[in-house]
Amino acid sequence: MEVLVTGATGRLGRVLVPQLRDAGHGVRQLSRRGAGPGGVRGDLATGRDLGPALAGAEVVVHAASDPRGNPWEVDVAGARRLVEAVDRTRLRHLVHVSIVGVDRVPLSYYRAKYAAEQVLLASGLPLTVVRITQFHDFVDELLDTARRGRLLPVPMGWRARPVDVADAAAHLTGLVDAPPTGGVVEFSGPEELSVADLARSWAAVRAPGAHVLATPVPGRLGSALRDGGALPVRGEHGRRTWAEYLRG
């Protein structure tokens, strides 16, 4: 297949592109600078260069996002621009990467991700929306940022099911050849853990001697994540555990 990957320079895209190539696909990777082998330029925030970048693509894996900037422009309006720019005569499958819980967790970024899903689901394109749980290396970074010296404060009672980014990339690679589902599927890691347990095993490896302090988080966000809002309801699971990831 001729595959175009958006977000190819991101955490997921960097792992996905080589896996797609190893599976025998022709891969072009889209980013704002057009970096890397097979790199093409395209900006979802403006629409610039999207048409030429998407020309001839049989499969689009849409993994671009702007969690820290303007997701309403890049993710939501960007999804509209993507729908307009795809080559409808060639496109067999648009695989859109989303997050487990975008429909349940009251975060502004998740609302934008959910709105982007709605744009794509209404587009009439051959589509699969894949909601994935948090990547191990993302959780690793979050815990590192949360640590204050020898203290590691984490939300009490929150539950998660993180996944290895290579497992997520392998799952997406498998979907490239599969028929579009026309709906939403979920993909997660092999085991559910409390965030406090994730943090304790992290501290044992990354910050020995650090003390994990589970702290109650009030409000709707706190209760959504205690009630399992970030956990998949159904779907397939990766194999690599958090403990295996930490061992390296």
Q: How far is the CB of 209 from ligand NAP (least distance, A)?
A: 27
- How does 67-87 read in b/e, with b if 16+ C-beta sit within 10 Å? beeebbebbbbbbebbbebbe
Q: Which of 236, 146, 241 is nearest to 192 (CA)?
A: 241
Among 74, 95, 199, 224, binds ligand NAP (CB under 6 A): 74
Q: Which stretch binds ligand NAP (CB under 6 A): 4-12, 80-88, 144-152, 203-211?
A: 4-12
Interface size with ligand NAP, residues (CB under 6 A): 28
Considering the rule CB under 6 A, would residue 43 count as an interface residue with ligand NAP?
Answer: yes
Instruction: Verify binding: residue 134, ligand NAP, rule CB under 6 A.
Output: yes
Nearer to ligand NAP, 218 or 239 (CB): 239
Percent of the chain that is helix, strand, coil (3-state, to 5): 40, 20, 40
For ligand NAP, which residue of 3, 9, 112, 232 counts as binding (CB under 6 A)?
Answer: 9
Is 99 a residue that touches ligand NAP (CB under 6 A)? yes
CA atoms within 13 A on the CB side of 163: 26
192 binds ligand NAP (CB under 6 A): no
Per CB under 6 A, does 230 bind ligand NAP?
no
Is 27 a binding residue for ligand NAP by CB under 6 A? The answer is no
Alpha-helix runs per DSSP H in 128-164: 136-146
**Residue 131 one-letter amino acid:** R
d(CA 107, CA 8): 25
Which CA distances in Å does 74 have to 29, 43, 80, 133, 177?
17, 8, 10, 21, 27
Judge contact between 205 and 139, C-beta under 8 A. no
Q: Please, which residue, 134 or 241, has the CB nearer to ligand NAP?
A: 134
Say which DSSP state 180 is in.
P
The correct pick among 23, 36, 138, 156 for binding ligand NAP (CB under 6 A) is 138
Q: Judged by CB, which is closer to ligand NAP: 116, or 212?
A: 116
**From candidates 1, 19, 21, 32, binder to ligand NAP by CB under 6 A:** 32
Stretch that binds ligand NAP, among 65-73, 178-186, 197-205, 218-226 (CB under 6 A): 65-73
- List the one residue from 3, 4, 12, 214 that touches ligand NAP (CB under 6 A): 12
Closest of 42, 38, 41, 40 to residue 21, by C-alpha? 38
Q: Which of 1, 11, 26, 146 binds ligand NAP (CB under 6 A)?
A: 11
Residue 214's beta-bridge partner residues? 154
- The structure tokens listed for 15 are 């792992």
Find the residue with minimal CB distance to ligand NAP. Answer: 10
Binding site for ligand NAP (CB under 6 A): 6-13, 31-33, 42-45, 63-67, 74, 97, 99, 113, 132, 134-135, 138
